[in-house]
A and B are shown apart, each in its own frame.
Chain A
């Protein structure tokens, strides 16, 4: 899969990116006894109040999804931070990003 195809898998409209929904609370906290590792990300819908926690690659994908600007190459950034080939994770990143959108933890930015 070439870079342009990778980008199109996760960003149907590459100019959009993602943002945090207004009814989601987020708290980042380090792992107990392992402050050097990436923090866990706790999310909760408001006002329903059901907590979920993202760790490892899940937390990475969520963070980079929010960081992606209008021309962001999210998969490539995730791959770089994870130290893997973008093509090997593109599908998984796309699937998980869609899950976050479907779960209401991410919203696609509108133009």
Chain B
């Protein structure tokens, strides 16, 4: 028997992470749906597609409970929900033995009430084994839809292959199952971002958010898109007020240590300046393009 000082592959740590969180959830009667990566159905994987963290979807109403349980069981908070992405959908935690886990309180692109959406996905769940524990995963169409929604806001080589496997190579019946589910879960905007017809949904409040996520944008554009997509006026105001605040968590991860007061102070002024600089460059490019015509 060898102690854990040995090299442990990321794939092993990730699967253990799924099992660990499953165990914690089971002890508290919390339902989980394990998504992407190690939890993905083999038919949706391509060779070399390895996950580097454990992605887990939790009912929105029980998210804090599972995060608290994880922190009590050796996990440390990396990035909170508010600072992880423009959609504020997931929190990243780290365990010394099991690596990283992303706890999703909802999945970007799946609309409607988050708890009700979870219930809908749960109703057609499948089961897989992760770390020897029985773990629930979404149905095959739901897994495909989740992959596509992720691809829609994270364009790249890997997600391009996900689109190929989950959509391009799918037969008409499989595609119909995905689009029907997208209709049911109000996920057409995010799906369109993945499939290249996002502009068909310009009238939707979340259009700008998905446009920036899929095509890029300045920091200010991102913030205004968040404001525009906020479900309530209070959420919109909260987003505006948070705009100049320093993302201390992100700064911590960038510096690999706790930032000093001076570094936070400098970042407070640097953030808006970077935002204005990006906006100036964008407007400058636009103006130059007009001048050249």
A interface with B by C-beta (< 8 Å) = 20, 23-27, 29, 32, 42, 44, 46-55, 58, 99, 103
Q: Does B95 contact A (CB under 8 A)?
A: yes
Q: In the complex, which residues of chain A have a beta carbon less than 8 angstroms from the beta carbon of B20?
A: 25, 44, 46-47, 49
B193 → chain A closest CB, angstroms? 34
**A42 vs B15: C-alpha distance when bound (angstroms):** 10
**A24 vs B73: C-alpha distance when bound (angstroms):** 15
A-B pairs with the 10 shortest C-beta distances?
A: A25-B131, A51-B4, A25-B19, A46-B23, A26-B132, A47-B73, A53-B2, A27-B15, A27-B12, A51-B97
**Contact in complex: B132, A24 (CB < 8 Å):** yes
Given pairs A25-B16, A44-B20, 10 additional interface contacts (CB within 8 A): A27-B132, A29-B12, A42-B8, A47-B24, A47-B73, A47-B74, A49-B16, A50-B4, A53-B2, A53-B4
**Contact in complex: A27, B131 (CB < 8 Å):** yes
**Contact in complex: A52, B16 (CB < 8 Å):** no
**Contact in complex: B6, A25 (CB < 8 Å):** no
**Contact in complex: B97, A52 (CB < 8 Å):** no
Question: Per a CB cutoff under 8 Å, which of A47, A53, A103 touches B6?
Answer: A53
Most buried by A among B3, B20, B73: B20
**Contact in complex: B131, A47 (CB < 8 Å):** no
A29 and B11 contact, Cβ closer than 8 Å, known pairs A51-B97, A53-B4:
yes
**Contact in complex: A32, B9 (CB < 8 Å):** yes
B interface with A by C-beta (< 8 Å) = 1-4, 6, 8-9, 11-12, 15-16, 19-20, 23-24, 27, 73-74, 95-98, 131-133
Q: In the complex, which residues of chain B have a beta carbon less than 8 angstroms from the beta carbon of A47?
A: 20, 23-24, 27, 73-74
Which residue in chain A gives the minimum CB-CB distance to B69? A47
Most buried by B among A46, A50, A53, A55: A46
B14 → chain A closest CB, angstroms? 9
B103 → chain A closest CB, angstroms? 16
**Contact in complex: B23, A29 (CB < 8 Å):** no
**Contact in complex: A51, B23 (CB < 8 Å):** no
**A111 vs B59: C-alpha distance when bound (angstroms):** 40
**A42 vs B13: C-alpha distance when bound (angstroms):** 9
**Contact in complex: B95, A25 (CB < 8 Å):** no
Question: Per a CB cutoff under 8 Å, which of A44, A48, A58, A103 touches B16?
Answer: A44
Q: In the complex, which residues of chain A have a beta carbon less than 8 angstroms from the beta carbon of B12?
A: 27, 29, 42
B48 → chain A closest CB, angstroms? 14
A46 and B1 contact, Cβ closer than 8 Å, known pairs A24-B132, A25-B131, A26-B131:
no
**Contact in complex: B1, A54 (CB < 8 Å):** yes
Most buried by B among A52, A54, A58, A99: A52
Which residue in chain A gives the minimum CB-CB distance to B75? A49
**Contact in complex: B16, A27 (CB < 8 Å):** yes
**Contact in complex: B4, A29 (CB < 8 Å):** no
A44 and B15 contact, Cβ closer than 8 Å, known pairs A29-B9, A52-B1:
no
**A54 vs B2: C-alpha distance when bound (angstroms):** 6
Q: In the complex, which residues of chain A have a beta carbon less than 8 angstroms from the beta carbon of B131?
A: 25-27, 44
Question: Per a CB cutoff under 8 Å, which of B1, B19, B27, B98 touches A99?
Answer: B1
Question: Per a CB cutoff under 8 Å, which of B2, B4, B11, B133 touches A25?
Answer: B133
**A60 vs B172: C-alpha distance when bound (angstroms):** 47
Q: In the complex, which residues of chain B have a beta carbon less than 8 angstroms from the beta carbon of A51?
A: 4, 8, 16, 97
